[in-house]
Amino acid sequence: MEENSMNIKIHSIHFDADVKLENFIQTRVKKLVQVYDDIIGAEVFLRLVKSQKLDNKVTEIKVDIPGSDLFAKKQAKTFEESTDVAVDALRRQLQKHKEKQRGV
């Protein structure tokens, strides 16, 4: 079976994400294919929010699947952490979506 080469676009808003962070995000988001293999692509937005708290790193991920889009937005102390939490949320959404499809 050929490796699903999902198209992942990463946008870092008002800052430059380093290669290490981009590779981390690519690796995490690509793992969603294990849950749902019809993912067309994903768009990731990284932004820093002005906050008094330390958890000012926001990751938003939009996953494009046939027929709809799934979306998760999470905030944490690091982009790695907010990415992990957002990917977990999307994993649950994809599983629900898959179950719904089977139930039809």
Side chain identity at residue 53, one-letter code: K
Query: CA 22 to CA 9: how far, in whole Å?
Result: 10
Region 45-67 average pLDDT:
93
Per-residue confidence (pLDDT) for residue 104, from 0 to 100: 62
pLDDT confidence of residue 2 = 42
Q: In the chain, how many H helices and how many E strands? A: 2, 4
84: in domain: yes
Structure tokens at 44: 């990731």
pLDDT single digits (tens) 84-98: 999 999 999 999 999
CATH number of the domain residue 26 falls in = 3.30.160.100
Question: Is position 53 within any domain?
Answer: yes
Tokens of residue 46, six digits: 């990284």
pLDDT tens column, 23-51: 999 999 999 999 999 999 999 999 999 87
Q: How far is Cα 49 from Cα 18, in angstroms, rounded to an integer?
A: 18
Percent of the residues in the chain that have a pLDDT greater than 90, as a whole number: 80
Domain span at residue 94?
Answer: 7-103
pTM score: 0.91
Count of domains forming the chain = 1
